[in-house]
Every structure is written in C-alpha cells, then in structure tokens.
C-alpha cells in the first residue's frame, strides 16, 4: 500500500523537522521572516508529495524542496544579510557568554561574511555540507554528480580558509 500525501508529509516533518528549522535560520535572520519561510517550506513540501514517486530518498526530496523554496525566498528578499552555518546557529553564545567568546564570535562572523559572498549554488552546497550531508546526497539535492560536489567543497573550503586567514574578501 502506498503512502498518502499526508502520511509522507508527517513522516518527513517528524524525521527532518529540526533540520528544516536550522535551514530556515541559516537562510533568514529576521524571526518573522523565518516563520514565513518555514511555513512556505512546509506548504511546498506537503504539496510536493502529490508528485513524490520514491525515485530518491525521502531525505533528498525534503532537502531539495526546502532548498528550492529557501533559494527563491533569498532571491525575493535580496538584501545584505548573514547566512549562518546550520550547526553553528544553535551554539551561538547567549549574551551572558559574549565577553568570554568575543574572539571566537568575531572569527565566526568573518567566516559567515565570506560564505555569504559565495554565489547561490556554492552557498547551498556549503550549507548542505555543514548539515553533515555526504557528497552523494548533496549531489542528488543539487542535481549534480557527487564527484563535482566533492570538488566544489574542496575548492570552496580552500578559498574560504585562504581568505579567512588573509582577512580579505572572496
């Protein structure tokens, strides 16, 4: 028996809801817009399950839909903003810890500024990489080969490291 649209949606949100929250916070800083973007992703995800045929994993499908919606959101709301690493968002120190971690925070902000300067596909690859997805999965989501993804990640990391240590921009 095949799963219904609602069943697939509930399974996806149960399994990947936290990842969607992190993704939204990485694409949008403003809390009100985060809520709007998350709602937009959930609606698109639910609608998308009418077409889901299981040709890729549920995980790949969820990330592909979410990244497509988030990318459209960024294009619509183009303005200066910082994108944060998905894993780093939850670990940002609370104001009480700010003084102790001031140096680390400045380094983090510099790195985020460099990531923000990447073109959209490279930025998406890095966000997925920071979400701990492997090259094959990122390739499925981005619709490119795993070899190409690995190459891009290696190149982007080298450029980011070089520019970070040089204190420059991309």
What would the two tokens of residue 65 be?
A: 């839909």
d(CA 165, CA 142): 29
How many folded domains does the chain comprise? Answer: 2
On whether residue 111 sits in a domain, the answer given is yes
Same domain, 48 and 105: no
Q: How far is the C-alpha of 121 from the C-alpha of 137, rounded, in Å?
A: 15
pLDDT of the residue at 22: 85
SS (H, E, C) the chain: CCCCHHHHHHHHHHHHHHHHHHHHHHHCCCHHHHHHHHHHHHHHHHHHCCCCCCCCCHHHHHHHHHHHHHHHHHHHCCCCCCCCCHHHHCCCCCHHHCCCCHHHHHHHHHHHHHHHCCCHHHHHHHHHHHCCCCHHHHHHHHCCCHHHHHHHHHHHHHHHHHHHHHCCCC
pLDDT of residue 48: 96
Which of 54, 81, 108 is where one domain is finished? 81
Backbone angles phi, psi at 78, to 5 degrees: -60, 120
Range of the domain at 48: 1-81
The verdict on residue 130 lying in a domain is: yes
Q: Do 118 and 155 share a domain, yes or no?
A: yes
Cβ atoms of 28 and 78 closer than 8 Å:
no
pLDDT value at position 2? 65
Domain annotation covers residue 7: yes
Per-residue model confidence (pLDDT) at position 147: 96
Give pTM, 2 decimals: 0.61
9 and 76, same structural domain? yes
Angle between helices 120-130 and 58-76 (to 10 degrees): 140
Residue that finishes a domain, picked among 81, 110, 129: 81
What is the pLDDT tens value at each position of the chain, 170 positions in all?
468 999 999 999 999 999 999 888 877 778 888 999 999 999 999 999 999 998 999 999 999 999 899 888 877 766 434 445 445 555 555 445 444 455 566 676 777 778 778 887 888 888 788 778 899 999 998 889 999 999 999 999 888 888 887 775 55
Task: DSSP letter for 4, please.
Answer: P
130: its two tokens: 């920071």
pLDDT of residue 136: 93
**Cα dihedral 96, 97, 98, 99 in deg (nearest 10):** 100
Please indicate, yes or no, whether residues 1 and 72 belong to a single structural domain of this protein: yes
């Amino acid at each position: 028996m095949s799963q219904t649209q609602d069943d697939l949606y509930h399974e996806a949100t149960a399994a990947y809801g936290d990842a969607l929250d992190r993704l939204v916070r990485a694409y949008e800083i403003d809390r009100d817009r985060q809520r709007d973007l998350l709602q937009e992703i959930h609606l698109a995800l639910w609608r998308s399950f009418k077409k889901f045929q299981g040709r890729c994993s549920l995980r790949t499908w969820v990330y592909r839909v979410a990244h497509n919606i988030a990318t459209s959101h960024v294009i619509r709301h183009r303005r200066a903003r910082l994108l944060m690493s998905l894993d780093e968002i939850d670990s940002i120190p609370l104001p009480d810890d700010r003084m102790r971690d001031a140096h680390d925070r400045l380094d983090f902000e510099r790195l985020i500024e460099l990531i923000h300067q990447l073109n959209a596909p490279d930025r998406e690859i890095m966000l997925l990489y920071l979400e701990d997805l492997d090259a094959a999965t990122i390739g499925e989501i981005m619709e490119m080969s795993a070899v190409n993804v690995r190459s891009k990640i290696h190149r982007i990391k080298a450029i980011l490291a070089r520019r970070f240590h040089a204190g420059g921009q991309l």
